[in-house]
Amino acid sequence: MGLGLTELENRINTWKPEKISISVCAVESAQYQFNPDEIKQVSGWHPRRIREFAAGREAAHKALAKLGVPPAPLLRGEDRTPQWPEGITGSITHSGDKALAAVASCSDYLGIGIDLEQMSKFPEKVFWRISLPEEKEWIYSLGPESIQWAAPFLFSAKESFYKAQYPLTHARLGFHDVMIQLGDKTGWFTTKYNKEHPTRRYPDNSGFIGRYILLEDYIFTLSLLKAQNS
Ligand SMILES: CC(C)(COP(=O)(O)OP(=O)(O)OC[C@H]1O[C@@H](n2cnc3c(N)ncnc32)[C@H](O)[C@@H]1OP(=O)(O)O)[C@@H](O)C(=O)NCCC(=O)NCCS
């Protein structure tokens, strides 16, 4: 028996920071009703991808409802980002049969990125492609067993950071452009740019917070940039 949707949602909601709303939806049983503009956007897609897209939207609507935001079409921008309602920031991820969405008010968070990875399905060869020498070093220092969670963690942390920063900067970063380190506290990580930030909008990225949680065979990462006065 894998991790059930309800348990996944409960565990993430117990763990998540305040003022962020996170919801989960099963890809195979999403009931999301596309509006005509959304139908145009998914026209010609593979049925599996349409179900995944619908499940992400359904999770997003559930998460928005918890913030008191009424349902509205969630169109996809030309750069593939979800076009969140005015005053809202958020992020969507899918992994296998699970889709998750996280949203918050822009008065609390300027940027949010989430990513879910199934650890047993993570191809080790990806680790070699995405990791910097410094990252390989700290992962090896954890001991030989740790690569099983640390490799998908590294990938997920970079993906969630990418999603958190992109709507703010439009910077198309590669995997070697940022360096991930574990934080001093378990469950936290830091992300540093490995080169000068393309937009100079965030000359150092110390404002971004990284958090992770292991959920049986899954790793979930959350990258956040708090609003200044929150
Ligand atoms: C965009 C990207 C991060 C998506 O990640 P993924 O693991 O392929 O897929 P996930 O299921 O986790 O996330 C997909 C969702 O991300 C969101 N997304 C897509 N492009 C995005 C962007 N530029 N910024 C923020 N979110 C984006 C969408 O909501 C998408 O789902 P949807 O199309 O159903 O709405 C990835 O495909 C990508 O292009 N990465 C760029 C390289 C990279 O990650 N570098 C890391 C270095 S920092």
**Per-position DSSP letters for 103-131, written without gaps between them:** EEETTTEEEEEEEEEEGGG--HHHHHHH-
Pocket test residue of 93, 103, 135, 208 for ligand 1, highest count of atoms within 8 A of CB: 93
Rounded distance between C-alpha atoms, residue 223 and residue 190, angstroms:
9
In ligand 1, which atom is closest to the CA atom of 175?
A: 47
205 lines ligand 1 (CB under 6 A): no
pTM of the complete model: 0.95
Instruction: Quote the percentage of the chain above a pLDDT of 90.
Output: 84
pLDDT at residue 203, as a whole number:
47
Cβ(161) to ligand 1 under 6 A? yes
Please compute the mean of the pLDDT values over residues 183-206 and round it to a whole number.
Answer: 74
Rounded CA-CA distance 104/42 in Å is: 26
Kindly give the number of the ligand 1 atom that is closest to the alpha carbon of 163: 25
Q: Which domains does the chain have, with CATH numbers?
A: 5-107 (3.90.470.20), 115-226 (3.90.470.20)
Q: Where are the alpha helices (DSSP H) in the chain?
A: 5-15, 36-42, 47-66, 124-130, 133-141, 147-169
Note the pLDDT tens digit of each residue in 19-69: 999 999 999 999 999 999 999 999 999 999 999 999 999 999 999 999 999
